């Protein structure tokens, strides 16, 4: 995957400068991935391929942890899980290679903790869970299931939470806001009932794939997958603020699928553990077949050089950057006129930086010097 999402660039570039991600303090995973990339850049060069190796490693570790968890049920359950990982739709795989430092990246922690508990190592699971909570607060979605499985990990969880405590970490708060049932169902089913799951050609197939996983998970009677799925449904129903701001036009794309990746992964694991595991075979075959049909050879763009530095933006410039981020979708463009902000003299500089990140280095509807400065400071060539 040669593409670097604009929001992902903050983390990739922070690994070059060690001016750690602006997502701190609430995104520990952003810092973790930036720190992991730093020595790799020194050893192998600051390329897109080297950066992508960081989330790819987390993805492989999550797949291995899920297999270890499923193996305790049976070796065939582990094979079924790995088959679902290999045959997962494009959007799920794309998330696994996008280094946001949260969501899909953090899946390794609950899966590994569950595997350690399954294999009789709850005290080792504690630090993994604590680290996962620092890495991304979505790890908390697995806590009810992990507590039900075994509570002994509570004795050691603080060991993994040390980065959180040392960095004055605090999750972003969301007020209780019960979602309208229809809106919640539309958001929940959006990417699964449409072609965005694979491609527009396979829209009905993506609905069947999604429903089949849900039915099989219901028969699995597995705490980690089943309880995590139910926790996800409950939390998103009573905290609509976690997803309600997402624009409908984004809901069918991998960028917003990240808010549902915990649910998708729980259902994939649950399906592999189902008593009717033979039913997983056609699901895997469909997924692998569609993946093979859409295969494209690696692009030379994987060797693109990243040689940018993060800017130092004051609060006013951050507002300008936030304006662009808030109105751009996946590859879309904001309106041609910048907001008038006479009391915020550096607003245009931040907007130029956001424009360079999210739109590109052309046709900036403001000071041409600002966009030239932003683009010269951050280039992915």
112-162 pLDDT, tens digit each:
999 999 999 999 999 999 999 999 988 999 999 999 999 999 999 999 988
266 pLDDT more than 80 = yes
Contact 252, 190 (CB under 8 A): yes
pLDDT in tens, 320-357: 777 776 555 434 456 667 766 667 878 888 888 777 76
In this predicted structure, what is the pLDDT of residue 314?
A: 79
Q: Which residues contact 252 (CB under 8 A, 6 or more apart)?
A: 190, 191, 194, 195, 196
Confidence of residue 89 (pLDDT cuts 50, 70, 90): confident
Structure tokens at 73: 């049920």
Same domain, 284 and 332: no
Residues 6+ apart with CB under 8 A from 265: 62, 66, 107, 111
pLDDT at position 125, please? 97
| 284 Cβ contact partners less than 8 Å away, ≥ 6 residues apart | 80, 83, 84, 86, 87
How far is 88 from 85, CA to CA, in rounded Å?
A: 5
Residues 69 and 131 in one domain: yes
Overall domain count for the chain: 2
**Separation between Cα atoms, residue 364 and residue 338, nearest integer Å:** 9
pTM of the model: 0.78
Do 244 and 330 fall within a single domain? no
As a whole number of Å, the end-to-end CA separation of the chain is 15
56: which 2 tokens? 């790819």
Position 226 scores a pLDDT of: 95
Which of 255, 282, 310 finishes a domain? 310
**With 80 as the cut, is the pLDDT of residue 37 above it?**
yes
296/143: higher pLDDT: 143
Domain boundary among 292, 310, 328: 310
What pLDDT score does 67 carry? 97
What is the residue range of 179's domain?
1-310
**How many other CB atoms are found less than 10 A from the CB of residue 157?**
21
Average pLDDT on 206-219 reads 86
Same domain, 53 and 136: yes
3 and 34 housed in the same domain: yes
User: 300 is written with which tokens?
Assistant: 């030379």
Q: Are residues 301 and 327 in the same domain?
A: no
Question: Residue 47's beta-bridge partner residues?
Answer: 305
Based on the domain organization, do 341 and 235 belong to the same domain?
no
pLDDT level of residue 294 (50, 70, 90 thresholds): low
- 125 and 7 inside one domain: yes
Alpha-carbon distance 108 to 243, whole Å?
A: 23
**130 near 158, Cβ under 8 Å?**
yes
Q: 84 and 29 in one domain?
A: yes
138 with 261, same domain?
yes
Q: Select from 291, 310, 329 the last residue of a domain.
A: 310
HEC-encoded secondary structure of 28-41: HHHHHHHHHHHHHH
What tokens appear for 240 in the block?
């609509």
Return left, alpha or beta for 288; rule: phi > 0 is left, psi -120 to 50 is alpha, else beta. Answer: alpha
Residue 271 sits in the same domain as residue 197: yes
The verdict on 173 and 288 lying in the same domain is yes
The rounded radius of gyration (Å) of the Cα atoms in the chain is 21
Cα–Cα distance, 100 to 29 (Å, whole number): 8
d(CA 13, CA 20): 9
């Amino acid at each position: 995957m040669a593409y670097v999402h604009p929001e992902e660039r903050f983390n990739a570039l922070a690994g070059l400068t060690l001016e750690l991600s602006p997502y701190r303090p609430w995104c520990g995973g952003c810092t973790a991935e930036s720190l992991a990339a730093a020595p790799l850049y020194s050893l192998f060069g600051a390329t897109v391929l080297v950066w992508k190796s960081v989330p790819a490693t987390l993805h492989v570790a999550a797949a291995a942890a899920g297999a270890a968890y499923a193996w305790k049920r049976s070796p065939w359950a582990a094979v079924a899980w790995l088959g679902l990982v290999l045959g997962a739709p494009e959007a799920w795989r794309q998330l696994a290679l996008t280094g946001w430092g949260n969501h899909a990246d953090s899946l390794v922690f609950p899966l590994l903790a569950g595997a350690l508990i399954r294999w009789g190592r709850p005290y080792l699971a504690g630090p993994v869970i604590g680290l996962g909570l620092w890495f991304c607060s979505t790890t908390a979605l697995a806590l009810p299931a992990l507590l039900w499985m075994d509570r002994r990990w509570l004795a050691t969880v603080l060991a993994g939470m040390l980065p959180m405590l040392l960095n004055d970490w605090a999750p972003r708060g969301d007020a209780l806001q019960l979602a309208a049932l229809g809106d919640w169902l539309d958001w929940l089913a959006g990417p699964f009932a449409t072609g965005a799951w694979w491609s527009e050609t396979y829209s009905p197939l993506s609905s069947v794939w999604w429903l089949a996983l849900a039915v099989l998970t219901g028969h699995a009677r597995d705490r980690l997958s089943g309880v995590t799925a139910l926790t996800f449904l409950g939390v998103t129903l009573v905290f609509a603020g976690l997803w309600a701001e997402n624009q409908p036009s984004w809901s069918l794309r991998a960028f917003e699928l990240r808010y549902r990746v915990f649910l998708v992964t729980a259902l994939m694991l649950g399906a592999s553990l189902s008593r009717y595991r033979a039913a997983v075979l056609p699901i895997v075959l469909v997924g692998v077949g569609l993946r093979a049909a859409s295969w494209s050879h690696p692009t030379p763009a994987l060797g693109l050089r990243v040689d940018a530095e993060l800017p130092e933006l004051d609060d006013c410039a951050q507002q300008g950057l936030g304006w662009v981020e808030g109105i751009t979708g996946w590859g879309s463009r904001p309106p041609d006129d910048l907001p008038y902000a006479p009391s915020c003299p550096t607003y245009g500089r931040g907007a130029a930086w956001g424009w360079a990140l999210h739109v590109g280095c052309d046709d900036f509807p403001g000071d041409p010097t600002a966009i030239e400065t932003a683009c010269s400071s951050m280039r992915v060539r």
